[in-house]
A and B are shown apart, each in its own frame.
Chain A
């Protein structure tokens, strides 16, 4: 839990020496509390007190990183239970499960997938860059071969899943510089695991049969100097997962309970044999707080909805996605080209502009500043009504750009027709198609200047 300035103040030297750059120790303390200053700036801080303060000021949920380079996954450091309270900061990892028992062709297919999987969706890149390699064959050589192959043929971040601790760490040694997550570290194997985790410098996937069991492992690992952990309290279905992950986040955020101040990992791949159910569980467990979901599918049609959901839930509600207000010229419009209007909600803009381009008919696309609200929400709040649009027309001289007097408005904005007829005398208001994808057809069939 974050410390208050007054609490920090009590632990400072209180000499007001100014060497930290602040006029008083109190000013320095206040700055520390808000993250604006560093403890190192105080040259007279007792090392023991410094360590205490560092621990107390650390984020309630530790940031854990797995993998390297472009494919580094950073999870944790979340600050809220609900995204509307602030935002969620770190997108969870979606890992594709590969068993060493799987057929060679299946393994190849999944490895190929991870290299080529790259969705481009309205200006957003959606990627998958995490693999969970699972020891099920009972054959150490087979598992090592899989790990080597994944390490050599992809740059993905790796999770190693293996109940045999020796096999687990021998595999981890093969890819230690990729910073894999090794799983499971349990009450039973932790004494063997601790020196190896330290030596390899890899993150520990802590598993227990309950939250209590996880707490006992993380406490011991922490005492042994291990910092990077991801938690699995052993939930066996979506319902238990929502419960455990909610309680873990709550304990960390609201109670400042350090032994649970780590991200979690969920395994829908082991919970639901039906792949539709598995996908829905993955969606739910990701939305309700998993840092990583491990998932058995490498099918694009199952993956895309999950990736889009992750993008949506982890977008920052404090900053609506917007584009600049203006009358965009798409293609090379002339005085006979159609005029369309929409909001500056980025999605509306991307959909409509892409559709106009697709139809190969140049047009003016008027993007009215609605502060990122979509058509109906903007209409309700008066940012996309007759008056606002008439003002836009004046400001951007829309009437001077074209000879005709026809305006195409979004198909959902039926309610706007009458308002616009009143505010834009002389203009014919045409209700466009309901769906952006129908714009090309609509323009080619119905447009006449």
Chain B
């Protein structure tokens, strides 16, 4: 009989460890030197970070089953934030600055920074601050936010090719981490990281490959994350060793499958999330507290 030797693969490099937030509740993500859940051949010092998202504006068109848990607090981002932490056990939050969206209310960068400061002061968990997804506006909004919340070590997102310089400089000056976003392409991810690392500390960068929901492009996100992790760990590419973030709650709850049934919706988001963790994601932004709870039970 042939003898079986477990084909273990030891990797000599680590994904960088990034700290978000400050004080006791600061969270570390990344730091692993192996693939997700591969405790049998490497170390994964930090479980995947799981953030719940809140908006600075009352949400429109949210499916009833995802609005329901927040119904009593959506008009007030501070109450919303506190409920996520105190009732739903969120260890991290993502504040989305919809109010500043040029295609919507188009509020000023100063106002957005002000509301961010109020939320950041009201809770002690780490905060991801998500801009408007419009390059130029985000350059104004996120630099203002960086200044207003100096020292809080926020995670500012998203920085893209067209605006990373201004925002990263402000983040560095005021002690924040950043999310470098490049859409579904490992080469673009690497290019952006190289550009950032010329002046920005690599351990404060998180990669966002942009994520798609189950049934709506999930496989692209899944494979791009696996590819980036292989570059980072197997090929030891230092520019691919940053932790990876996935933001997909909104995309999931926009699908007709999530809207038509509550349980199906929760599973839609939770399965999307666990699939990205299996690919190598280090930080998820989730919308439904039940999806958060479920993923936590399975992976932490």
Q: Which residues of A contact B (CB under 8 A)?
A: 82-84, 121, 211-212, 215-216, 219, 238-239, 242-243, 246-247, 250-251, 254-255, 257-260, 276-277, 279-281, 283-284, 287-288, 301-302, 304-306, 308-309, 311-313, 315, 317, 345, 347, 373-374, 376-377, 379-381, 414-415, 431, 434-435, 437-438
- A300: shortest Cβ distance to chain B, in Å? 8
B274 to chain A: which residues have CB within 8 Å?
Answer: 280, 283-284
A402 to B83, CA, bound (A): 52
- A4: shortest Cβ distance to chain B, in Å? 21
**Residues B185 and A381 in contact, CB atoms below 8 Å apart:** yes
**Residues A216 and B1 in contact, CB atoms below 8 Å apart:** yes
**Residues A257 and B4 in contact, CB atoms below 8 Å apart:** yes
**Residues B297 and A277 in contact, CB atoms below 8 Å apart:** yes
What are 21 residue pairs bridging A and B, where the CB atoms are less than 8 Å apart in the complex? A83-B219, A84-B227, A215-B2, A243-B40, A250-B9, A259-B1, A259-B2, A259-B4, A276-B294, A277-B297, A280-B271, A284-B298, A302-B263, A302-B264, A305-B264, A305-B268, A309-B271, A313-B222, A379-B183, A414-B134, A437-B259
**Residues A377 and B184 in contact, CB atoms below 8 Å apart:** yes
B10 within 8 Å of A by Cβ? no
Stretch at the interface among B68-76, B146-154, B208-216: B208-216
**Residues A277 and B294 in contact, CB atoms below 8 Å apart:** yes
**Residues B37 and A242 in contact, CB atoms below 8 Å apart:** yes
A257 to chain B: which residues have CB within 8 Å?
Answer: 2, 4, 7
B85 within 8 Å of A by Cβ? no
**Residues A84 and B271 in contact, CB atoms below 8 Å apart:** no
**Residues B298 and A281 in contact, CB atoms below 8 Å apart:** yes
**Which are the 10 A-B pairs with shortest beta-carbon distances?**
A301-B264, A84-B223, A380-B183, A312-B219, A377-B184, A308-B215, A250-B7, A305-B267, A435-B254, A219-B1
Given contacts A283-B271, A301-B263, 8 further A-B contacts (CB under 8 A): A219-B2, A243-B39, A276-B267, A305-B264, A308-B215, A376-B183, A379-B183, A414-B134
Residue in A251, A308, A312 whose Cβ sees the most chain B Cβ within 10 Å: A312
Per-residue CB proximity of B194-226 to A under 8 Å, as 1/0? Answer: 000000000000000010101111111011101
B166 within 8 Å of A by Cβ? no
**Residues A260 and B4 in contact, CB atoms below 8 Å apart:** yes
**Residues B7 and A251 in contact, CB atoms below 8 Å apart:** yes
Minimal Cβ-Cβ distance residue in B for A380: B183
Per-residue CB proximity of B38-49 to A under 8 Å, as 1/0? Answer: 111000000000
* Residue in A250, A258, A415 whose beta carbon sits within 8 Å of that of B2 in the complex: A258
Q: Which residues of B contact A (CB under 8 A)?
A: 1-2, 4-9, 35, 37-40, 61, 102-103, 133-135, 182-185, 188, 210, 212, 214-220, 222-224, 226-227, 230, 254, 256-257, 259, 261, 263-264, 266-268, 270-271, 274-275, 278, 294-295, 297-298
- B104: shortest Cβ distance to chain A, in Å? 10
Given contacts A243-B40, A276-B267, A434-B254, contact A238 B298 (CB under 8 A): yes
- B124: shortest Cβ distance to chain A, in Å? 30
A308 to chain B: which residues have CB within 8 Å?
Answer: 214-215, 257
Given contacts A219-B2, A304-B257, A312-B214, contact A287 B275 (CB under 8 A): yes
Given contacts A82-B230, A281-B298, A376-B183, contact A415 B215 (CB under 8 A): no
A251 to B254, CA, bound (A): 41
Given contacts A82-B226, A247-B7, contact A347 B217 (CB under 8 A): yes
B219 to chain A: which residues have CB within 8 Å?
Answer: 83, 312-313, 315, 317
B134 to chain A: which residues have CB within 8 Å?
Answer: 414-415
A281 to B267, CA, bound (A): 12
A312 to chain B: which residues have CB within 8 Å?
Answer: 214-215, 218-219, 222
A376 to B210, CA, bound (A): 9
B256 to chain A: which residues have CB within 8 Å?
Answer: 437
Given contacts A82-B226, A239-B37, A312-B215, contact A215 B4 (CB under 8 A): yes
A273 to B215, CA, bound (A): 27
A380 to B135, CA, bound (A): 13
- A345: shortest Cβ distance to chain B, in Å? 8
A84 to chain B: which residues have CB within 8 Å?
Answer: 223-224, 226-227
Given contacts A219-B2, A381-B185, contact A276 B103 (CB under 8 A): no
A304 to chain B: which residues have CB within 8 Å?
Answer: 257, 264
A121 to B271, CA, bound (A): 18
A309 to B295, CA, bound (A): 16
A308 to B183, CA, bound (A): 23
- B228: shortest Cβ distance to chain A, in Å? 10
A397 to B138, CA, bound (A): 37
**Residues A380 and B182 in contact, CB atoms below 8 Å apart:** yes
A284 to chain B: which residues have CB within 8 Å?
Answer: 274-275, 278, 298
A414 to chain B: which residues have CB within 8 Å?
Answer: 102-103, 133-134
Minimal Cβ-Cβ distance residue in B for A315: B219
A242 to B152, CA, bound (A): 38
A438 to B259, CA, bound (A): 12
A376 to B218, CA, bound (A): 14
- B145: shortest Cβ distance to chain A, in Å? 20
B135 to chain A: which residues have CB within 8 Å?
Answer: 415
Given contacts A242-B37, A284-B274, contact A377 B294 (CB under 8 A): no
A379 to chain B: which residues have CB within 8 Å?
Answer: 183
A311 to B263, CA, bound (A): 20
A239 to B264, CA, bound (A): 24
B223 to chain A: which residues have CB within 8 Å?
Answer: 82-84, 317
* Residue in A212, A301, A431 whose beta carbon sits within 8 Å of that of B267 in the complex: A301
A238 to chain B: which residues have CB within 8 Å?
Answer: 37, 298
- A381: shortest Cβ distance to chain B, in Å? 7
Given contacts A251-B7, A257-B2, A374-B217, contact A380 B188 (CB under 8 A): yes
**Residues B4 and A211 in contact, CB atoms below 8 Å apart:** yes
B210 to chain A: which residues have CB within 8 Å?
Answer: 376-377
Given contacts A82-B230, A276-B270, A313-B222, contact A255 B278 (CB under 8 A): no
**Residues B271 and A305 in contact, CB atoms below 8 Å apart:** yes
B257 to chain A: which residues have CB within 8 Å?
Answer: 304-305, 308
A25 to B28, CA, bound (A): 61
A302 to B265, CA, bound (A): 10
A84 to B50, CA, bound (A): 26
- A111: shortest Cβ distance to chain B, in Å? 23
- A216: shortest Cβ distance to chain B, in Å? 6
A37 to B226, CA, bound (A): 35
Minimal Cβ-Cβ distance residue in A for B229: A82
Minimal Cβ-Cβ distance residue in A for B101: A414
- B90: shortest Cβ distance to chain A, in Å? 19
B39 to chain A: which residues have CB within 8 Å?
Answer: 239, 243
A302 to B7, CA, bound (A): 35
Minimal Cβ-Cβ distance residue in B for A274: B297
- A95: shortest Cβ distance to chain B, in Å? 18
